[in-house]
Every structure is written in structure tokens, then in C-alpha cells.
Structure 1
């Protein structure tokens, strides 16, 4: 069997190669990749290059016809955290699919069998793939943050990219009122479609019980630290190559505040995430997903970086 795959060469260059697939390693399974979504974090690999095939938001089909999505952390399954269902906290975690081992910008991908999450029959793969970063990560972060607060009067989401829009959608499903901010008018408009209110002036202090920072930009982090109320919670979801710093200002030094950093969802939240997708998954897909084919990957990234696409997804010809 031959398979096409993308190689990130660095400096924004993507090449394609056709390879002959060998036997599947013990403990692994081979999926036909039906959908693989682009993620903002993939932009780092686009610039730096990657020794493996990128792409970590994967939905596909096993040889027996089982549909599944791929859990990114290659968890051990045996440590105390994994045994408790908290697989995102695996004590032996060393690999992420699409980062340290081949991912889904390809026609086929081999992954550990334990990392394949079967998709319920009533959820299309085009929706199910959102259960990974876009909804799964967002929902887990909000669940963690809600443990710190007796109640949330109103939350602010800073950054309405794919994950930020996932946070808005999940928050609405959880009954949390949300304001949103993004300098990109189209993305802010999408957040409003999901029920968010555009944030007004963010120059003042002490405005929100909860602030979810999703962009990773230094200015966004500074805003979150300014507008959170004493006793409130900042959820640090945004990623960048810059260190996360806290301001050495009198106001910040005198402020009680929770800072919650969330990485990914655990396996013991999968059923709850399916329930969320049943409520709003199709609407979220229809608003943010742009389906494209593997040969269109370079153009997809160019338009993704430019802000023309919110959530481009590479979809196989068989799944279109």
C-alpha cells in the first residue's frame, strides 16, 4: 500500500511524498485519514520544520470500518493518573501525535490502538474531530476553572480563533455568559453568532470573574491580568514561544487570583464532550470549518495564517 504525506520543510515550505507503507507495529492500528484539522500550534512547525508528519486533530476509519478520532497524548495506560482516567496527566508522557510521531497530514496514519476514541454512530466525523482541541480542550479548561469559583457572573474570552470560539460555544452550553474580544472582525462576529457579547473597553481593572486567554499574545495576557477581579480566575490556554510573565505592579501584587493552565482533556471526559457536541457541534462546524484536500494544504495554511479561514480541515476524497 502506498500513501501520500506532507512534510514541513521549514520557512513555510510544504513538500509531499508518496511512501510505501510497511507492516503495522505491535500495539498500533492504521487509520485511513478522513479529516485532519489545522491548529494554530501547527504554524510553529510550518516555520521550524518537522522530523515527523504534522497534524494532530485527526478523524479516520480503521480497516474494520470503525470510525475514530485520535487522542494526541500517547499515554502509558498504566501509571496512577492513567488508571484513574486522567490520561492527559500521564506520568510517563513523552510523545504527542503530530509532534514526536507522525500525524494526520497524510492519507494514512499509524497510532497506538489505545489512542483511538470510537465515534458514536450519531456524530459525523466532521463534527467528531472538533471533540479534540476545539471542544475537548475548551471544555476541560472551563471545568477546571469552575472548580475555583462559587459562581461566575460573566466571563471574558480573549482571542476568537478556533479554540477561543470553542470556549465560547462550550461556555454557552454550560450556561456561562460570555464577552469576547478579538481584533479580527470576522472572528469576533462568529463569536457573537454563538451568543457572546463584544467586549467594550478593556482598559479598566476588575471587570470579570473569569478570563480565558486563548491567543498567547503578550498584550492579551496583560489584558487578562488587568481585567480579572480579585479572587477571579485566569485560564491560560493561549500558547506562544514567549514566557508567560506576571506584571510586577502594585495592583497585581495585591490581587488574590487563580491562574489555571490546562493542556488537554482526559479520557474520562469523553462521554461528556460527546454530549456537548450533540448540542452545538454541527452549528460550530458549519460556522468555522473550511473543508479542503491534502494537495491544498499549502494554500490552506497561507489563508489560515492570513485569517481568511477559521478552521481549515483536510478532508479525504472518500469522505467528501
Structure 2
């Protein structure tokens, strides 16, 4: 089958330039399964690769269909999502099915291994998770970074609070921040507020069911604060706003160090700071249930379908804020 397949894939050359190559595919390397990429969503972290250039095909939020299986992989014809950590499978964390905590992590799909801005990609079997039949592919893709990462962080945060999370503030209403809002509502957290300096992004959080926080002033106002922007000012606000005994979920990505303030108030604040990465396979079934509750609503609120050939223009619109969560699709997915 592989000898008859050609694959068009994207490359990030740096400085926002996207190029494409089309080449015949050889058989998958030993031990790898091959999938047809049905959906690949753009992620804010991809902007770093767009600027710097990438040595591999980018794209790490992928839903596809297995066309050539391998030992330990789902059968051909199975729809799958791609779990991005390429874990060792042998360490203590992997044996507990906490592959996101792998001690010998080999890299990430779309970062150190070819990803999904292509028509086909080859994937280690441990990175393929079957998609339930009732969940469309353009909703299933949210199970990865947007819902999976958000749900894992909220679960960790809930473990710090004796009665769970009852009051949550989300700072930053980009795709992940909106994912945190959607997951929090699906989990039944009774008070969910959001804040973003961009009024249109804040309106999306309100459309999902969050209340708009009036401001980021004051201290000791929220039990749990999810900081999802990575901005230094937002981090500082989270450290002021969290109640004693509460928790900060540090989800925002930034190239700047995460700093603890040298102030009397902070030195006298007893709280948790939680940093999480992705999600473990043990949470997948629960994440599907969350997605059934809020996934289609989030898709219809923030997602825009585009085509692989339009990827450079799509990224321009994404970086400019015109698109909230665009994704490439090769077929009708709804």
C-alpha cells in the first residue's frame, strides 16, 4: 500500500514561512503504524516553531485513521488521536500508565518526531488512542491539548483542596484558557470566572458559561486561579488573587522565568503552585465523558476548519487573533 502513496507535508522554514513537499512514501519504519491525518489543530506553542523553524513536520494535535497497523497498535480502519509524548514504556511512571511523566521521555510528536501538518504520519503504537464512534473527529481533537491538559490540571488542583475546587478564576481566554472554562463547567465546578484583556475572547468564555471577573485587583479573592496566558503581569495577579490555602495552576507558557514575588504578603501566603504537563492515559476515558458534555459546544464556539494548502495564511490569521482555534482537515469530519 505504501508504495502507491504520496504524502504532502509542511515544513516551517522560520520567520513565518511555510513550505510544502510531496514525495512517495516508503513502508513505515519497523514498529511504527501509519495513519491518514484527518484533523490537525493549530496550537499556540506552534507559533514558536513557526518563528524559529523546525527540523521535523510540525503539528501535534492530531486525529487520524490507521491505514497500516503495527504490533501493539489499533487495527487498520480505527480512528485515533495521537498522544504526543513518546514514552519509554518501561520506567516506573510508564508502568503506572502515567506516560506523560516518563522518566526517559524520547520526545514529542510534532516537535522531535514528524507530526500532523501532512496527509500521513507514522506513529509509535503507544501514542495511538482509539476514538469512540460517537465523537466526531473535529471534537475528538479537543481531547488532547485543549481538554486533556485542562482536565489534568484541574484534577491536580482539586487534590490540593479538601472539598475540591468550588471557586475558579481563569486568567487568559486563549484556546487552552477556554478549554479550562469548558472542562471546569463539565466537571460541575460551581463558580467559574474568567478574565482576558481582549473583550471578544472574554465574550467567548461567557458564551461557554463562565462569568466575567470584574478586574484582577485585590488579594485573597479566589480559591483556585488558573493562569493560562504566561504573561508576567498575569502571573503576578494570580499570586495576589489566590486565597491562603488555595492553588495556582501555572499553565501559561512563556520564555520568561516563573518568579515568586519577594513581598511580605507572598511570604505569608500558604498556597500551592501546580504545574502540569499534558495528561496520563489513565484519564482518557473520563476525558471522553467530559468531551461528550462540552466538546461540541466548544468546537462551535472557537474552531475554524481550513486546509493544509492554506496553512501559512491560517497561521497568519491565528497569530493575528482572527482565528481562535483553527484546524486543518482533509475530509468532512462532522
**Which TM bucket (shorter chain)?**
over 0.9
**Who is 2:103 aligned against?**
91
Establish whether residue 122 from structure 1 lines up as the match of residue 154 from structure 2: no
Contact 1:28 1:110 in 2 (8 A): yes
Gaps of 5+ in 2: 68-75
CA distance in 2: counterparts of 1:157 and 1:51, whole angstroms: 34
Contact 2:88 2:106 in 1 (8 A): no
**Who is 1:22 aligned against?**
26
Offset at 1:317? 3.6
User: Which of 55, 58, 64 is the matching residue for 2:62?
Assistant: 58
Secondary structure (helix, strand or coil) at the match of 1:303 reads helix
Q: How does 1:127-138 map to 2 (within 5 A)?
A: 127-138=139-150
Offset at 1:43? 0.5
After superposition, give the CA deviation of every residue in 1:170-217 in whole Å (9 maximum; x if it has no partner): 101111121101112121111001111111121101110100011111
Establish whether residue 209 from structure 1 lines up as the match of residue 223 from structure 2: yes
**Who is 2:311 aligned against?**
297
Q: Which runs of 4+ in 1 moved over 4 A?
A: none
Contact 1:85 1:268 in 2 (8 A): yes
Contact 1:5 1:107 in 2 (8 A): yes
Contact 1:293 1:317 in 2 (8 A): no
**Who is 1:36 aligned against?**
40
Secondary structure (helix, strand or coil) at the match of 1:219 reads helix
Aligned residues: 320
Contact 1:153 1:208 in 2 (8 A): no
Contact 1:156 1:211 in 2 (8 A): yes
After superposition, give the CA deviation of every residue in 1:62-81 in whole Å (9 maximum; x if it has no partner): 11211000000001112111
CA distance in 2: counterparts of 1:196 and 1:80, whole angstroms: 39
Contact 1:165 1:191 in 2 (8 A): yes
TM-score by length of 1: 0.98
**Who is 1:45 aligned against?**
49
Offset at 1:145? 0.3
After superposition, give the CA deviation of every residue in 1:17-40 in whole Å (9 maximum; x if it has no partner): 112211101111111100000000
Secondary structure (helix, strand or coil) at the match of 1:133 reads coil
Contact 2:136 2:333 in 1 (8 A): no
Q: How does 1:67-78 map to 2 (within 5 A)?
A: 67-78=79-90
CA distance in 2: counterparts of 1:91 and 1:206, whole angstroms: 37
TM-score by length of 2: 0.94
Establish whether residue 11 from structure 1 lines up as the match of residue 25 from structure 2: no
Q: How does 1:160-175 map to 2 (within 5 A)?
A: 160-175=173-188
Secondary structure (helix, strand or coil) at the match of 1:187 reads helix
User: Which of 152, 158, 168 is the matching residue for 2:171?
Assistant: 158
Offset at 1:319? 4.5
Secondary structure (helix, strand or coil) at the match of 1:273 reads helix
Establish whether residue 198 from structure 1 lines up as the match of residue 240 from structure 2: no
Gaps of 5+ in 1: none
Secondary structure (helix, strand or coil) at the match of 2:313 reads helix
Offset at 1:318? 5.9
Establish whether residue 231 from structure 1 lines up as the match of residue 235 from structure 2: no
After superposition, give the CA deviation of every residue in 1:56-97 in whole Å (9 maximum; x if it has no partner): 000001112110000000011121111111111111102100
CA distance in 2: counterparts of 1:245 and 1:203, whole angstroms: 19
CA distance in 1: counterparts of 2:46 and 2:9, whole angstroms: 15
Contact 2:138 2:333 in 1 (8 A): no
Q: How large is the Cα RMSD of the aligned pairs?
A: 1.1
Secondary structure (helix, strand or coil) at the match of 1:297 reads helix
